[in-house]
Copies of this chain bind each other. A is one copy, B any other.
Amino acid sequence: MLEEFFHPRSVAVIGASTSPDKLGYAVLDNLVEGGYVNVGKVFPINPKADRILGQKAYPSVLEVPDEIDLAVIVIPYPHVPPVLEECGRKGIPAVVVISAGFREAGMEGLERELELVEIAKQYKIRLIGPNCLGIIDTFTPVNASFSAGTPPQGPMAFMSQSGALGTAILDWAQAGRLGLAKFVSLGNKADVSEIDLLEAWVDDPDTSVILMYSEGLPNGQEFIKVAREVTKVKPVVAIKSGVTKSGSRAVSSHTGSLAGSEQAYQAAFHQAGVLRASDMAGMFDMALALGYQPLLRDDHIAIVTNAGGPGILATDALERSGMSLARLEVHTIQELEQYLPDAASAANPVDVLGDAKADRYRFALEVVSRDPNVDGIMVVLTPQAMTEIEETARAIGEISLEIDKPVLACFMGEAKVEAGIHILRGYNVPNYSFPERASLAFRAMSKYRAIQERQDPVFEKFTADNQAIQRVIDGAKEDGRFAIGDAEAWDILRAYDIAIPQSKLAKTSQEAVDIAGEIGYPVVLKIASPDILHKTDVGGVKVGLETADQVKDAFDLMIFRTERYLPEAEIWGCQVQEMAPPGGMEILIGMNRDPQFGPLVTFGLGGIYVEALKDVTFRIAPFTRHDAEDMLKEIRSKALLEGVRGNPPIDKEAIIDTLLRIGQLVEDFPEIAELDINPLIVYPKGQGAIAIDMRLVLESEK
């Protein structure tokens, strides 16, 4: 996929310039200097030049005698649409539009961009940009960008919605911090998006880690679907910016992309198996470990250090990031004790002492790496008087090549350890300036292992009476109502086999007494009116009615009061409702639609846990049973589900089942904009749950 972008047989640079301070010159220069001229043909397109940088120029792509796989457009924006049309007529399959002046430049620019999309569709052109830096494949090699120079080869493929951030990353790469297989500046994403690149790179043999910086993912559901497949094959590390309130305001003023909510992104990346970095440093730290070292089999890490203090820092950092310290086998400790000086520590962290030379590090590493309880090794080095920094780096590098466990180094300091870090890089051993950062890299490896081990998602299907639901929705719409509650909402829940209280509408107080007799006391009485949504506020709910008299009185009082204080409300009567038995726990299940990812389902304990503690968790529908199970483990108050203070554990299966059914409901009925079951009362294990109240809001435009 997108083959012509990364392995073109020929490239045209439309707007190639003879003047070195023009971008059109820089792009051509990168194609020439980056070595592409040795593997493919380059056609500068410039009506005023014969030859640029040694390449024969043509006035238009239509005049080029050969086929063209890739065109790069670097001309002022008014000329871009006609030139793209020419590319179409020439049959060019892949085009990068570097030129700016489109969506990012207001309404007029947006129209111009839509014109590009139209032309591209017509001629089946795939288009990267506009308003971007260009693209690079270091293995082809093709550098079709105006970057200053070409980054070194490496296992990372990077895509960025921000060109400027791209320049910073290229600079880090050129300084030797990391090697890139591919680099794509996505610009306005008029056509090719993150999703296309994920699909293109999943099978790319040169790429072992995919990195992305994104400001918004408009096609969120598709992103999750594709990324879920890709992350089974190779890790994807992402930075999503604009997550805070001010941040997302900045995004919308920046590229006009609509930022999804932080909760939706959190859920989406989780479900897609995308590792999320909170900042650039974190992204690089993860990428280096994932790209250059074998994966962790389990989470037990050994530390080898030449100093106690940093060993403690490393221990703290590992534990804080959720990893654990390997417990060394007795024979490992004995072997270490035999050779290491008396003052050394042979238990993990293994302290080879400040006077350790390279041979002592090598010995300790060899012994420790053979221990079956050790899944990964962090080598900490401080530059002390006797330390052989370069020799030690070589020893670490050599051992890392012999074993299939990840080794991360932490050479602390700067000037003195620089040469050692350089040697480590030659052996693909990443170095972290602080143990904390190495720990987070191990953590990312551990997380990625869990992602790879995930089973293929199975989306359960429940039989539901969709026609009954449609009737309720249509009925409400016909009346011009967008909010649905009470009996109508129960009809929907009933259609999904979610337990609801027995309930019946009574038009008179006698009818209410008869119904209460059928249901059995105690009962709840609620005013039934399409005009009253918040019944409690108007005294329209009475609970715990024990006798016929109480029901009668409550009925009459409710009708009397409503007629008096809300004379314009239509009154259907009162709903007589079974009272949920005591001993249950209140749960909230909700849903609202994220503009990018669609139905975002919420779970939390009801009452103060939601209101005061905001202790809730999210998934994007559709989600799996496994996801629903995880939701129950993610809330802070999860211990309450297990029963505290002598209470029995509650029926988690009933919650999971309800979550899955609600997930299906909101998928099947996109006209449901919001929904709240509050409370779902859940009883002890095996005794099920009952949805007491649901409110549902319809999309007003549909």
Distance in angstroms between the alpha carbons of A313 and B168 in the assembled complex: 13
How many Å from the CB of A174 to the closest CB on chain B? 6
Shortest distance from the beta carbon of A539 to any chain B beta carbon, whole Å: 14
Q: Is the CB–CB distance between B26 and A281 below 8 Å? A: no
Contact: B612 with A307, CB < 8 Å?
A: no
Q: Are B608 and A640 in contact (CB under 8 A)?
A: yes
- Please name all residues of chain B whose beta carbon is closer than 8 Å to the beta carbon of A255 when the two chains form the complex: 308
Residue of B nearest to A173 (CB): B414
* Cβ–Cβ contact B246 & A26, under 8 A: no
A168-B383 CB under 8 A given contacts A241-B309, A254-B308, A312-B251: yes
Would B254 and A312 count as touching, CB distance under 8 A?
Answer: yes
Contacts of A254 in B (CB 8 A): 308-309, 311-312, 345, 351
**Min CB–CB distance A351 → chain B (angstroms):** 8
The interface residues of chain B lying within 8 Å CB-to-CB of A59 are: none
Check B307 against A165 for contact (C-beta < 8 Å). Answer: yes
Q: How far is the CB of A535 from chain B (nearest CB, A)?
A: 16
| Closest partner residue, chain B, to A255 (CB atom) | B308
With contacts A309-B213, A611-B644 taken as known, whether A105 is within 8 angstroms of B343 at the C-beta atoms is: yes
Cβ–Cβ contact B306 & A164, under 8 A? yes
Compute how far the CA of A246 lies from the CA of B301 in the bound complex, rounded to whole angstroms: 12
Chain A residues 607 to 652 lying within 8 A of chain B, measured CB to CB, are: 607-608, 611-613, 636-637, 639-640, 644-645
Closest residue on chain B to residue A305 by CB atoms? B164
A160 touches B315 (CB 8 A): no
* Chain B residues whose CB sits within 8 angstroms of the CB of A249 once the complex forms: 315
- The interface residues of chain B lying within 8 Å CB-to-CB of A343 are 104-105
A354–B306 Cα distance when bound, in Å, is 46
CA distance A290 to B436 in the complex (A): 23
In the complex, which residues of chain B have a beta carbon less than 8 angstroms from the beta carbon of A278? 436
Stretch at the interface among A84-92, A318-326, A371-379, A510-518: A318-326
Copies in the complex: 2
Q: Mark A248-291, 1 if CB is under 8 A from B, else 0.
A: 01110111000000000000000000000011110000000000
**A280 lies within 8 A of B645 (CB):** no
- A172 / chain B contacts, CB cutoff of 8 Å: 413-414
Is there contact, CB below 8 Å, between B434 and A253? no
A160 cross-chain contacts in B, Cβ below 8 A:
309
Digitize A432-471: 1 where CB-to-B-CB distance is under 8 Å, 0 elsewhere: 0111110000000000000000000000000000000000
Chain B: minimal CB distance from A319 (Å): 4
- Once the chains are docked, how many angstroms separate the CA of A148 from the CA of B307? 17
Contact at B415–A174, with CB atoms within 8 Å? yes
Report A569-624 residues with CB < 8 Å from chain B CB: 607-608, 611-613
For the complex, is A79 an interface residue (Cβ under 8 Å from B)?
no
Q: Hey, which chain B residues are within 8 Å of A162, CB to CB?
A: 307-310
Any chain B CB within 8 A of the CB of A384? yes
A526, chain B: closest CB distance, angstroms:
19
Residue of B nearest to A324 (CB): B246
Size class of the contact patch on chain A: 35 or more
Closest B residue to A279 using CB positions: B436
The answer to the question of A247 belonging to the interface, with a C-beta cut-off of 8 Å to chain B, is yes
Contact of A320 among B168, B244, B281, B317 (CB under 8 A): B244
Give 1 or 0 for each of A16-44: 1 = CB within 8 Å of chain B CB. 00000001001000000000000000000
Contact across chains for A383 and B167 when beta carbons are under 8 A apart: yes
Interface residue A245 (Cβ < 8 Å from any Cβ of B): yes
State whether A436 and B281 are in contact (beta carbons under 8 Å apart), knowing that A162-B309, A245-B319, A644-B612 are contacts in the complex: yes
Q: In the complex, what residues of B have CB within 8 A of residue A502's CB? A: none
Q: Given that A347-B253, A383-B167 are known contacts, is A246 also in contact with B414, CB under 8 Å in the complex?
A: no
* A184 CB to nearest chain B CB (Å): 14
Known: A246-B315, A611-B645. A310 touches B414 (CB 8 A): no
- Give bound CA distance, A23 to B354, whole Å: 13
Q: Give the chain B neighbours of A435 by CB distance below 8 A.
A: 279
Is A175 located at the chain interface by the 8 A CB criterion? Answer: yes
* Closest CB in chain B relative to A576 CB, distance in Å: 26
Are B167 and A413 within 8 A (Cβ)?
yes
Measured CB to CB, the closest approach of chain B to A387, in angstroms, equals 9
Determine whether the beta carbon of B413 is less than 8 Å from that of A247.
no
Contact of A281 among B161, B175, B433 (CB under 8 A): B433
CA distance A391 to B650 in the complex (A): 66
A-side residues, CB < 8 A to B, are 23, 26, 104-105, 146, 148, 160-165, 167-168, 171-172, 174-175, 177, 213, 215, 239, 241-247, 249-251, 253-255, 278-281, 306-313, 315-320, 324-325, 343, 345, 347, 349, 351, 354, 382-385, 412-417, 433-437, 607-608, 611-613, 636-637, 639-640, 644-645
Known: A162-B309, A242-B316, A244-B315. 4 other contacts (CB 8 A): A177-B414, A250-B312, A280-B433, A613-B637
